[in-house]
Amino acid sequence: MVKPALQAAVFVERLPRRPYCTDDPAQGLLIRPQATALAYRHIQHNPPPHVSTLVFDVDRADGCHAWEDVGLPAPNWVCLNVRNGHAHYGYLLTAPVARTCAAKQKPLRYLAAIEHVLAKRLGADMGYAGLITKNPVHGDWWTIWHHTETFSLDYLAEFCPDADLAAYSRRSRKEVGGLGRNVTVFDNVREWAYSAVRAYWRPNGYEAWADAIRAACEGANAFGREQGGPLPVSEIKATAKSIARWVWNRFTPAGFSQVQAHRGAKGGRIGGKISKGGGRPRNSGRAAELLPEVRRLKAMGYSNRDIAEDLKISAGSVSNYLRRDRE
């Protein structure tokens, strides 16, 4: 059996170097060096750039054993308030999941869905923001250290019914909490950025562009108390930086002109008929031109509907391109 001191060390090594911390969340948060922050009752458990630990807030008298009652694997640690039985569960992830990198949104979406479904199964607080947790190495809490094994996303997904994961993906963007807030801010701003970037295409225009993206992210960062509240400034800055760089590097004037040419060709074909012909000819050349972009967006985790919206084609066309690519 692993000793509690070693288990506590595993928790500490994943903490940010300067985490948020507080003795009373209602009184606000402080930022302190890790050694100082560990003396506080609540502490930030994930750095802004990535998620390495999932935490669930089980606010009920039997919170200590909720994971057993619903048949979930034992968390790495359970941090219990002995006065009311409320607990925080910590699950260590095998591989950290980036929050903001545009090329890695699929794992974050996957993790957000898993977090949402597991929280519902546990009866956990759906409005828990996931920023700070009861500090399991603080003497005010009773901490039960179960093990130091880590959890892969695929393993955690085995405890999430497929129907529940699918329902999460279809839910309204207003119904977000926890990691879902990161996904929502990213999606809302990046969709606006695709067309907005044209106004900043000029020499040395990136700085103004980055400021505009930052402002857009701050504007999209409006979540109510029932959703855990707004994201921290550090996460908004990281998200804005990721979107600004990704869109600026990929949506160049030359690239945009090419997409517009595709759209114009599509519009020209829709309007008329081919006289004495056999209907509309198949444009295999256009499919060959769009297929690399369809393939790239799909690899990034975008749905067929999102890809179709970005490229101004139908979702059926996206499906056909991908099907032909597999054949």
What is the per-residue pLDDT for 101? Answer: 58
Residues 6 or more apart whose CB falls under 8 angstroms from that of 31 comprise 18, 19, 20, 21
What is the per-residue pLDDT for 320? Answer: 84
CA–CA distances in Å: residue 68 to residues 10, 92, 116, 152, 188: 23, 18, 18, 19, 38
What is the per-residue pLDDT for 260? Answer: 56
E runs forming strands in the chain: 20-22, 30-31, 42-44, 50-58, 77-80, 87-98, 132-134, 142-145
Q: State both tokens at 28.
A: 């606000």
Name the residue with tokens 């970005």. 310
What is the per-residue pLDDT for 308? Answer: 76
User: What whole-number distance in Å separates Cα of residue 84 and Cα of residue 99?
Assistant: 33
What is the per-residue pLDDT for 317? Answer: 84
- For the chain, which residues score pLDDT lower than 50? 269-281
Query: How many CA atoms lie within 13 Å of 86's alpha carbon, on the beta-carbon side?
Result: 9
User: pLDDT tens digits for 106-152?
Assistant: 888 899 999 999 999 999 998 898 899 999 999 999 999 999 999 99
CATH of 180-250, one of 1.10.340.50, 2.40.160.40, 3.40.50.10540, 1.10.443.10: 1.10.340.50
Q: Are strands 77-80 and 142-145 parallel, antiparallel or unpaired?
A: antiparallel
CA-wise closest residue to 297 among 321, 265, 316, 326 = 321
Helix and strand counts by DSSP (H, E) for the chain = 13, 8
Q: State both tokens at 12.
A: 């500490």
List 57's β-bridge partners, or say none.
88
Q: What is the DSSP letter of 101?
A: -
